[in-house]
Amino acid sequence: MQDFPETSGAKILLVWDRIGDYHAARFRALENFAGTGNVLMADLGGADKLYKWKNPLQGSEWYKSLSSKPVEEPDAKKRLEAFKELVKIHQVNLVGIAGYGRPEYRAMLHWCRMKGVKVVLFAESWYTGNLDFLKGLYLRFLCRGFLVSGLRAKNHFVERLGLPENRVYMPYSVVDNRHFSAQLPDYSSKKILCLARFSEEKNLVKLIAAFGASRIAANGWKLELVGGGPLKQLLLDHATEGIVFRDWVAYEDLPALYTSASFFILPSIFEPWGLVVNEAMAAGLPVALSEECGCAPDLVPDPAFRFPAKDDSAIAALLQKLPLIPEEELRNIGLKNRERINAFSPEAWAEAFLQASAF
C-alpha cells in the first residue's frame, strides 16, 4: 500500500445517517493517520427504524448525534445547525458526507461550499437516473472529491455523471476484515448461509425455490436464512426441507455465524453494494451472488459464481454443483476470497478518502 497523503492541519468531520460498527472501523483507520482529535464523527440521529446497530462510539468525545430524533423523522433545521456548530467549534476544514439524497446533506453541501470547507462525497449508487449529467455538474461544483464503493459506482460517476476520473476514488464499501477472520469456516458443514433482511429486494423467495429445485437437501445440505424482516411469514410459507430461519444477529456474533457455514449466497434483485459479501469473504467463505449486486465485478469476478437474480433455474444449477466440490477446493476458494478482500479494508478506505480530498 502506498503512503497516505499528507494529513497535517486537517480537521475532519465524517457524517453518516447512523453510526454502526462499519463506520467506527473507518473512523479508527482514518484516525490512525490523521491523529487523535483530528477526526470527528456525527450521525443524523442516534436511532433508526430499520437496523439494530449499536454505536461503538457512543459516549466518545469525538462523536456527536446531530438530532435526538430517529434518522427517518424530519429534523433538518436542527441537524444543519448542529453540523455548523461542530464545524466552527472544532475548526473543521474537511468533511465527508454520506450522499446528497437527504435534505440535510444537501444543505450541508451548500453551506460547506459557501464557507470554503472541503467536502468528499460518499456514494454507492451506480444506477442510471434522469438528468445524470446535470447531477454531475451540481456535485462537481459542491464537492472536492468522491469516494465510491467500487468499479460500477466509479464508472457511473465518471461516464454518466461526467466527473473527472482524478476526483473519483475507491473503495468506500469496506468492513473490519479482522473482526471476521479469526477462524476459518467449517467447510464440512454443508451449510449455505444467506444474511439478508427478509424484504422483497433480497429475492429470498426465489432462493428458497431454487434450493428446493436443486434437491441438494437430500445430500445433507442446509440453507440458513438470517436477518428477519417484513416477509418472514411469507418465507416460512414457502420453506422446504433443509431450510432454517434466524432473525437479527448482533455484530459481535457474526464471525461465529460465518464460520459455521461452508458457502455464502446473496441473490438480491437490488443491491448497491452488499457488505455481507465483504464479511463472508473476510471469514474465508466461498461466495455466490446475483449480477445485480454492486460488488460483483470487484469481489466475485468469476462468472461461475454469479447468476441473474430473477432466474431461479440458474440459481438452482449453481447450488446443484456444491455437493460436487471437495472440501479442500471450498477451502482454497475461501482463502483466495480472504486474500482478495484485503484490498477492501478500513485502511484502504482511509487512504482513498485522503486522496479524494487532496484534489
DSSP for 113-141, written as a single string: HHHT-EEEEEE------TTHHHHHHHHHH
Same domain flag for 317 and 227: yes
* pLDDT, tens only, 62-105: 999 999 999 999 999 999 999 999 999 999 999 999 999 999 99
Same domain, yes or no, for 193 and 290?
Answer: yes
* pLDDT value at 7 more than 70: no
If you write DSSP's letter for every residue of 68-108 in order, what string do you get?
SS-TTS--HHHHHHHHHHHHHHTT--EEEES-S-SHHHHHH
Strands 145-148 and 222-226: what pairing? Answer: unpaired
Task: Please give the residue that has the higher pLDDT: either 48 or 29.
Answer: 29
Statement: residue 2 has pLDDT above 50: no
Tell whether 7 is covered by a domain. no
Q: Are the beta carbons of 272 and 168 closer than 8 angstroms?
A: no
> What would the pLDDT profile of 230-250 be if each residue is shown by its tens digit?
999 999 999 999 999 999 999
Q: For 168, list phi and psi in degrees, rounded to 5.
A: -115, 120
Give the residue from 67, 101, 60, 62 showing the smallest Cα distance to 83.
67
Q: Are residues 277 and 350 in the same domain?
A: no
- How many domains does the structure of the chain reveal? 2
Kind and range of the H or E run holding 307: strand 306-307
- Tell me if 147 is assigned to some domain: yes
- Can you give the pLDDT at residue 234? 97
Do residues 335 and 350 share a domain?
no
CA-based R_g, the chain, Å: 21
Q: 97-155: per-residue pLDDT in tens?
A: 999 999 999 999 999 999 999 999 999 989 888 889 999 999 999 999 999 999 999 99
Q: Sorting pLDDT into bands at 50, 70 and 90, what band is 4? A: very low
Q: pTM of the prediction?
A: 0.94
Q: Are residues 322 and 273 in the same domain?
A: yes
Distance separating alpha carbons of residues 232 and 182, to the nearest angstrom:
31
Average of per-residue pLDDT across 297-304? 96
Q: In what order do the strands lie in the sheet with 191-195?
A: 243-246, 222-226, 191-195, 263-266, 287-290, 306-307
The pLDDT tens digits of the residues spanning 253-281 come to 999 999 999 999 999 999 999 999 999 99
Give yes or no: residues 161 and 197 share one domain: no
The answer on pLDDT for 330 being more than 80 is: yes
Residues 153 and 268 both lie in one domain:
no
Residues 145 and 192 in one domain: no
Q: What does the pLDDT average to over 315-322?
A: 97
Query: Which residues span the domain enclosing 153?
Result: 12-174+344-357
Cell for 247? 432473525
Q: Are residues 200 and 82 in the same domain?
A: no
**Number of alpha carbons in the 13 Å side-chain half-sphere of residue 24:** 15
pLDDT band at 9 (very low <50, low <70, confident <90, very high): low
- Residues 300-319: what's their mean pLDDT? 96
Whole-number pLDDT of residue 359 = 73
Query: What is residue 130's predicted lDDT score, i.e. its pLDDT?
Result: 85
The closest alpha carbon to 48, from 28, 75, 26, 14, belongs to 75
Residues in the chain: 359
pLDDT digits (tens, 9 = 90+) for 196-236: 999 999 999 999 999 999 999 999 999 999 999 999 999 99
CA dihedral 335→338→339→344, nearest 10 degrees, is 170
66 and 146 co-located in one domain: yes
Write the single-letter amino acid at 321: K
pLDDT of residue 113: 97
